[in-house]
Structures are given as structure tokens and as C-alpha cells.
Amino acid sequence: MKTIRIDCHLHTEYSPDSISPIEDLADQARRIGLDKLIITDHNTIAGAMILKKRYPDFVIVGEEIQTTCGEILAYFVEEEIPPWLEPEEAFQRLTAQNAFISLSHPYAFSRMGWTEPEMLRYQPYLDAIETANGRNTPRLNQKAADFANAHGLAATAGSDGHAVHELGRMGLELPDFHTADEMRLAVREATVFGDESSLLVRFYSRKAVLLKKLHLK
């Protein structure tokens, strides 16, 4: 079976802390050899839906959803999930549309990371947790990987890129898939590639927020 490379965590100009144009990301994804482009903007699927219409076989519609506890990474999202729901409500809405469900940056408590009791409580809803996040520290990524291994959870990995050059910094190599159900099988055979970015990449997020506040972007 064909093996592909994907980055499972990416933000575009449709996130409040990114100014990355969606078309530039599509071009960059192909340039660096990614086989699919997964967009996970904060609390919206608007940008992903636009690009999905242009490149239906290349783009996967995702969303990073802020709940009252932590953030959820969801893929194959058909109906946008609003922010600040209780986790149970968000998980139920995603399950109803058969979305693939992962958790963003566990243990990264400065970024609304999930605690172990929370992950255990919601494990029945989970297809995976994010064990390699390009903006996390190696220690926190390893801690998440250890938790996943101990509890039989699959892994997702991504750059958490907010700038075009971050795309593909981390990700998964895995068997090709086209649906959420196929992705659930594929991640069980996945391997992580890449490494963490410099902490300086956070500058790009802060710059994007400032530019948007000043209506310069």
C-alpha cells in the first residue's frame, strides 16, 4: 500500500494568530512533498472548506476546537464546532459526524493542554492524541507519547504551524487513506517524522495577532 506524509496540525489566515495565505500553504505542501493538506484553524472550517472545493482530493477539512478544558483536533469535519463547549458536548457533536478526534498538545498547560485525568475521562471518544507537536518541547511530546503507549492510543503529529515555513516540520508517515474510518486504521501503522521548531516561531503568531488588531492584515 502507498505510504504518504501528512502534517496533522496547521493554521492559516483564517485563524486569529496566523496570516498564512491558504494558496501559499497548498503550494508549499506540494513543494515539500506532503501528500495531503490538513487544515486545522482555530474554531472555524471556513478556510479549509474554500481550499477543499479547489483541491478536493488533496485537502482534508479539520478544526482545532477550544473547549472549556483544552483544545480538540478534529479531521474530516463536515459541520463546524463552535468554541467553549463542554468537552463532552464537543466530542458528541464530532462523533455524530464521524470525525476523527485527537487532542491538541497534551500537558502543555500554558496552551490549554489536557491533563491525564481529563484524557482518561474522555478516552472513549478519542481516536488518537497529539504526541508530536512542533511548538511543544521534546519533554512534553515524549510525555504525551508515553501516555498514548500506556493507554493504547494512536498518535497524531504536526507542526502546529502558523507561518508557511513551519509546514511539514513534524508529521506522520502512514498508509494512504481517504476517509475518517480509513485514517483510524492508518494511524495505527504511522511513524512520526521531523522535530520541534525553535521557540522563536511563536513570534509569528504574536505578529499575526498584532497585525490583525491594527487591521493591517
Domains of the chain in sequence order: 3-78+95-213 (3.20.20.140)
What is the rounded CA–CA span in Å between residue 26 and residue 84?
29
What is the rounded CA–CA span in Å between residue 141 and residue 48?
26
Chain length of the chain:
217
Among 148, 155, 113, which Cα is nearest to 132's?
A: 155
Q: From start to end of the chain, where are the E strands?
A: 3-6, 37-39, 59-66, 71-75, 100-103, 128-133, 154-158, 170-175, 191-194
Q: Is the dihedral of CA 59, 100, 39, 174 positive or negative?
A: negative
Q: Which pLDDT does position 199 carry in this prediction?
A: 64
Burial of 80 (0-12, 13-18, 19+ CB in 10 A): middle
pLDDT per position as a tens digit, 98-124: 999 999 999 987 777 899 999 999 999
Backbone angles phi, psi at 30, to 5 degrees: -70, -40
Low-confidence ranges of the chain (pLDDT < 70): 197-212, 215-217
Q: Which pLDDT does position 208 carry in this prediction?
A: 52
Angle between helices 22-31 and 46-54 (to 10 degrees): 60
Q: What residue has cell string 472550517?
A: 45
Q: Which pLDDT does position 209 carry in this prediction?
A: 57
11 contact partners, CB below 8 Å, separation of at least 6: 17, 18, 20, 39, 40, 41, 42, 64, 160, 161, 162
Is there a contact between 8 and 182 (Cβ–Cβ < 8 Å)? no
Q: Which pLDDT does position 112 carry in this prediction?
A: 76
> How many other β-carbons are positioned within 10 Å of the β-carbon of residue 119?
21
Q: How far is CA 29 from each of CA 7, 43, 76, 98, 188, rounded to the nearest angstrom?
A: 9, 22, 18, 26, 23
Among 31, 25, 1, 23, which Cα is nearest to 11's?
A: 25
pLDDT per position as a tens digit, 47-63: 999 999 999 999 999 99
Q: What is the pTM of this model?
A: 0.93
